[in-house]
Structure 1
Amino acid sequence: MSSIVIVGSQWGDEGKGKITDFLSQNADMIVRYSGGDNAGHTIVYNGKKMHLQLVPSGIFYPDKLAVIGNGVVVNPKSLIHELHYLKKNHVKTDNLRISDRAQVIMPYHILFDGLQEQLKTNKIGTTKKGIGPAYMDKLERIGIRIADLIDKDTFATKLEQALAVKNKILMRVFKRKPIQFSDIYDEYYQYGQEIKKYVTDTSKLINDALDQKKHVLFEGAQGCMLDVDHGTYPYVTSSNPIAGGASTGAGVGPTRINEVVGVAKAYTSRVGAGPFPTELHNEIAHHIRVTAHEFGVVTGRPRRIGWLDTVALRHAVRVSGLTQLSLNCLDVFSGFKTIKVCTEYKLDGQNIDHYPANLAQLERCKPVYKELPGWDEDISNCKTLEDLPKNARNYLKFVADNVHVPLDTFAVGPEREKTNVLKDIWKLAEK
């Protein structure tokens, strides 16, 4: 048995899709375990950039299974659109599997996402994809699962029950017209029939694969700092992107996970509102944003940019149990005279090395920086550590030493071939 969990170790958008795609080459199964279509990842396939939101990046390998786990909230309309997009680009989807226990995002979830955001004084910056309301219904136990969606009578009963609750809120709180059963039922039942052939008990599928000593790769959405329990709450997503989410979101025991790879950029970025101690508002941020094309895959919003924050990164190491670190976007720093790395925060006159839960305290935190020399050389064609300029090697070593996690890969460009392997993670997972 060998299994690897890949997590974003910042606020998402770290390049998990590329690393997942890279490690998928030697995997038998790639499993998505959290989130929904609010998070996108970009894969370069046959020289073309492909944008995915729900479908795991393993879909590009017809000999491997791409699995949507039970922890994912699935918008069937978006999923079918994505499947059509893949087929249009000559990507076969026969290898897709969808958990029968995954929750379904319904139109009223998307409606409530926007309405509830309007009521909030502290705007979360939601993508308005219905993610939060869908997870709310899951915990309230009035959600509709994929198993319900594909069964005609069960879907009718569940939808009627859900609308009885939703329409009262719509009319009494938001002064809106009620949603009619007929507005949803036929359309969404048909969606269910279109995806029915992919639906199965994915927990059994995954555990059987592990019993057969196959390679299983787990991927989450977003990043550790957006985790609903361990992130910058309330400016977080509604699920658990941390490595532990793979157990609940895929239906496997924690003893079945061998390695946890944290993906990070050489700097920090985030989309939407929320704390960001190392954020920059200057030409350096603009340069990084333009050079690295830092705009959201789903929203198109420009990402906020800052220096690498190892306080946040060490927090991700703790809550996800990172065993390896993959560092992307090192090439973005070519031409920088100096590069800063945040190693501590100064809070009310005292240095701290942990990430506060209290947002008022976090607002008072000032980053304490270590300044490192940069390099002028173009490193986009470097294949090994030895190929890198001395200062680039020193930067990588400083980061790894500071977060106490060894480097697994470093990348000098967005393409798969620009990702350089320092060790075979699958062999480590087999030990």
Structure 2
Amino acid sequence: MVDVILGLQWGDEGKGKIVDFFAPNYDIIARFQGGPNAGHTLYVGDKKVVLHQIPSGIFHQNTVNLIGNGVVLDPVTLKRECDTVASFGIDVRKNLFISERTNLILPTHRALDKASESSKGDSKIGSTLKGIGPAYMDKTGRNAIRVGDLLDKNFTSQYIKLRLKHQKLLDNFHFNEDISAWEDEFFEALEFLRTLNVVNGEYFINNHISQGKKVLAEGAQGSMLDIDFGTFPFVTSSNTISAGVCNGLGVAPQKIREVLGVTKAYCTRVGSGPFPTELHDEQGEELRKTGNEFGATTGRPRRCGWIDLVALKYACMINGVTQVVMTKADVLDAFESLKVCTTYNVNGEEKAEVPFQMTRVNLEPVFQSFKGWNQDTTQIKKADALPEDMTQYIAFINKYVGAPIRYVSNGPGRDQIVAL
């Protein structure tokens, strides 16, 4: 049995905390896509930890954590994270496993990412410059080096061959930066990676499933950044939706049971790309300030706006969402009035569908207003104690998207979550 937790917006929905909250109910937490462009924030006691590669169940001693084949892995980031996790007394060699089919991010992937983004000028997509796109391009181009290749005697020649290919591309970009320090770090991290548990991921996870173990598949980024169904070309390079679980871990579709979609009570986006409900006024700034909306991976200020129910319903549809978790509801505590986008005005015609290319149409959000609850909700533990105006806001979203909101997160703490 596999349950899935994934983002329903443009990432940054607070998935890390939600996975951490549910982790004790599962035997295995498995990342199925993405790379170090993810930033999953957890609180261990009163200490903030941001994980980029390691699954968010790592701080639960009896939980197995698997990095699946759909992930692209930066050994340097992984080593750094493992050192952080070890400082909390967690033995990663006991409960962290990596699929041998997981693709590696090379230093030259990072260089290609930087060179490519710099060349785009005003057409930048807002890449995190972590080498994600070039690494996935090598995967689909059948040039990639995978974790299992580390154990092969021909690894060094494989690396040199791919590096030379990358160098030719970098020469075309006139990229002259010295990345020798990156390479030194990379090879040091590879030695560390060789000491970890490298497994045949698909057999590993299916054997556990056949033994009755419960698996929680953890997504990175968000559904609106999906390479096929997101706001292309301003998207990530992997399938962030529930379908990505199957090819990112090697499990069959019928093994998936629940799909838990995570959404903020409002919307944010980092980097470039369409954002219909974005606010450029004082309310947008208030959302950013109150919600501390700065990227966990990049530190960049997030663009903020009202919740977009057209996009949210679309994301619930393509993922087959069975339950919704709403995060950061407490950020709206101080607002006297709220808005939700219920349709788009597309080239003068009102529509409730996400267009093929948002950037090619004249699109304006159509809003419906709600009364804010105007009180502190951060200490509330039970659903019946939530303000009436808040329950009405939630009920409207429930009805619109056709998937029930089962949990509301009302603060960053592990215990700040209300079951509805």
Q: TM-score, normalised by structure 2?
A: 0.95
The within-5 A match list for 1:158-307 is: 158-174=158-174, 176=176, 184=183, 188-196=186-194, 197-307=196-306
Larger displacement relative to structure 2 (119-128 or 255-264)? 119-128
Counterpart position of 2:105: 105
Q: Is residue 10 of structure 1 aligned with residue 12 of structure 2?
A: no
Partner of 2:148: 147
For the residue of structure 2 that corresponds to 1:297, the secondary structure is coil
After TM superposition, give the deviation of residue 164 of structure 1 in Å.
Answer: 3.1
Provide the residue aligned with 2:325 in structure 1: 326
Query: Structure 1 177/374 Cα, relative in aligned 2: closer, same or farther at 3 Å?
Result: closer
Contact 1:109 1:130 in 2 (8 A): yes
Aligned counterparts of 1:288 and 1:188: Cα–Cα separation in 2: 39
Distance 1:387 1:198, change over 3 A: same
CA–CA distance in structure 2, aligned partners of residues 118 and 159 of structure 1: 25
What residue number does 1:392 align with?
Answer: 390
Q: Residues 84-123 of structure 1 correspond to what in structure 2 (within 5 A)?
A: 84-93=83-92, 94-121=94-121, 122-123=123-124
Displacement after TM superposition at 1:4 (Å): 0.7
- Closer, same or farther: CA 175–283 of 1 in aligned 2, 3 Å: closer
Corresponding residue SS for 1:22: helix
Task: Structure 1: give runs of 5+ residues left out of the alignment.
Answer: 423-431
| Amino acid in the other structure paired with 1:270 | R
Structure 2 unpaired stretches of 5+? none
Count matched residues: 417
- Cα distance 1:284–1:142, how it changes in 2: closer, same or farther (>3 A)? same
2:406 aligns to what SS in structure 1? strand
After TM superposition, list the pairs within 5 Å mapping 1:395-406 onto structure 2: 395-406=393-404
Matches within 5 A, 1:364-379: 364-379=362-377
Deviation at 1:25, TM superposition (A): 1.3
Structure 1 residues 281, 183: CA separation in 2 closer, same or farther (over 3 Å shift)?
closer
Which residue of 1 is the match for residue 156 of structure 2? 156
Aligned to 1:83: 82
Give distance in 2, aligned partners of 1:173 and 1:35. 25
> Which stretch of structure 1 is more off in the superposition, 36-45 or 192-201?
192-201
Give the counterpart letter for 2:191 in structure 1. Q
- RMSD of Structure 2 on Structure 1 (CA): 1.8
What secondary structure, in the 3-state scheme, does the structure 1 residue paired with 2:271 have? Answer: coil
Tell me, in whole angstroms, the C-alpha distance in 2 between the residues paired with 1:417 and 1:386: 17
2:412 corresponds to which residue? Answer: 414
Cα deviation for residue 172 of structure 1 reads 4.3
Query: Deviations along 1:299-324, whole A, 9 cap, x unmatched?
Result: 11110000000011011012111111
Report the secondary structure of 1:335's partner residue. Answer: coil
% same residue: 42
- Distance in 1 (CA, whole Å) between partners of 2:333 and 2:84 is 36
Query: What amino acid does structure 1 have at the position aligned with 2:394?
Result: L
After superposing the two structures, state which structure 1 stretch, 4-13 or 121-130, moved more. Answer: 121-130
Alpha-carbon deviations, 1:247-271, whole Å to 9, x = none? 1111111111001010000000010
The 1-side partners of 2:415 and 2:175 are apart by: 54
Report the alpha carbon displacement of residue 212 of structure 1 after superposing the two structures with TM.
1.1
CA distance in 2, matches of 1:361, 1:12: 23
CA distance in 2: counterparts of 1:99 and 1:191, whole angstroms: 17
- Distance change >3 Å, CA 360–CA 49, structure 1 → 2: closer
Deviation at 1:204, TM superposition (A): 1.1
Query: Per-residue deviation at 1:189?
Result: 4.8
2:131 match? 130
Q: How far apart in 2 are the matches of 1:191 and 1:268?
A: 37
Distance 1:411 1:172 in 2: 48
Query: How far apart, in 2, do the equivalents of 1:300 and 1:155 lie?
Result: 35
C-alpha separation in 1, matches of 2:400 and 2:182: 55
* 1:200 positional shift: 0.7
Given that 1:150 and 1:192 are in contact with CA atoms closer than 8 Å, whether structure 2 keeps it comes out as no
Tell me if structure 1 keeps the 8 A contact 2:107–2:179.
no
Partners of 1:163 and 1:179 within 8 A in 2: no
User: In the aligned structure 2, how far is the partner of 1:72 from the partner of 1:47?
Assistant: 29
Q: Is the 1:170–1:177 Cα contact (8 Å) retained in structure 2?
A: no
Distance 2:90 2:178 in 1: 40
Q: What is the distance in 1 between the residues matched to 2:74 and 2:62?
A: 26
Please report how far the alpha carbon of residue 105 of structure 1 lies from its aligned counterpart in structure 2 after TM superposition.
Answer: 0.3
Partner letter of residue 392 of structure 2? N
Q: Is 1:375–1:392's contact at 8 Å kept on the other side of the alignment?
A: yes
What is the rounded CA distance, in whole Å, between the counterparts of 1:241 and 1:32 in structure 2? 11
| 1:334-383 Cα distance to aligned partner (Å, 9 max, x none) | 13221100010011221100111223344x11111111111122111222
Q: Distance in 2 between matches of 1:18 and 1:204?
A: 28
State the partner residue of 2:58. 59
Moved more, 7-16 or 186-195: 186-195
Q: Distance in 2 between matches of 1:147 and 1:101?
A: 6
- SS of alignment partner, residue 167 of structure 2: helix
Contact 2:76–2:185 (8 Å) recurs in 1? no
Paired residues of 1:324 and 1:408 also in contact (CA < 8 A): yes
Tell me the distance in 2 between the aligned counterparts of 1:178 and 1:172: 16
Which deviates more from structure 2 when the two are superposed, residues 80-89 or residues 241-250? 80-89
C-alpha separation in 2, matches of 1:324 and 1:171: 49
Verify the 8 A CA contact 1:149 1:189 in the aligned structure 2. no
SS of equivalent residue, structure 1 residue 7: strand
Alpha carbons of 1:283 and 1:179: their partners in 2 closer, same or farther (altered >3 Å)?
closer
Superposition deviation, residue 92 in structure 1: 2.7
C-alpha distance in 2 between matches for 1:307 and 1:130: 31
Cα deviation 1:65-119 (Å, max 9, x = unaligned) = 0110001000001110111111123333120001100000000000010111122
Offset at residue 47 of structure 1 (A): 2.0
> CA separation of 1:99/1:361 partners in 2, compared to 1, >3 Å: closer, same or farther?
same
